[in-house]
Amino acid sequence: MTSTAPARVIAAVDGSESSLLALRTAAEYAATLQTELLIITCWKAPDFYTGAIAGDAEIFRTEAGQQQEAAIERAFPGGCPVTATRRLTHGRPAPALIAASEDAQLLVLGTRGHGEFAALILGSVSLECITHAHCPVLTVRAQ
């Protein structure tokens, strides 16, 4: 009988207070489930960005990496308490998180609580993930 490692827990991190809480919560679940934590930060150049200089969009990827690193340090001043892998993903967050959820047992993300009207206009990563993820989704809101 072959034993395989349990599917990982995913934390979506964008630097917001709710995503820091999501990161801490995901780490707690990963520890309880004795599995790995995958920390995902999505990035893309702003819609108005023209990309006039070749390779210039790399600035946005670098900034996302720095934002992810700062979030991890803020969430875990003494170091991450579980084995964690970091991933920077180009594109909209919801599709990237939904794709990653195929190999996960839990997706944890923060919610900013814009309300129904704002979510209708702005869209909602949380709602899209809850609706389409391949694993259970836990949303947390910073107080």
- Give per-residue pLDDT as tens, 3-35: 566 799 999 999 999 999 999 999 999 999 999
Q: Summarize pLDDT for 32-56 with one digit per residue, the tens.
A: 999 999 999 999 877 665 555 555 6
- Map residue 134 onto helix, strand or coil: coil
Q: What angle do CA 10, 93, 77 make, to 5 degrees?
A: 50
Q: What is the pLDDT of residue 121?
A: 47
Measured in whole angstroms, the distance separating CA 2 from the mean position of its chain's CA atoms is 31
Q: Summarize pLDDT for 98-128 with one digit per residue, the tens.
A: 999 999 999 999 987 555 555 554 458 888 9
CB 11 within 8 A of CB 59: no
Half-sphere exposure at residue 134, Cβ-oriented, CA atoms within 13 angstroms: 14
Q: What is the pLDDT of residue 122?
A: 47
Q: What is the pLDDT of residue 89?
A: 95
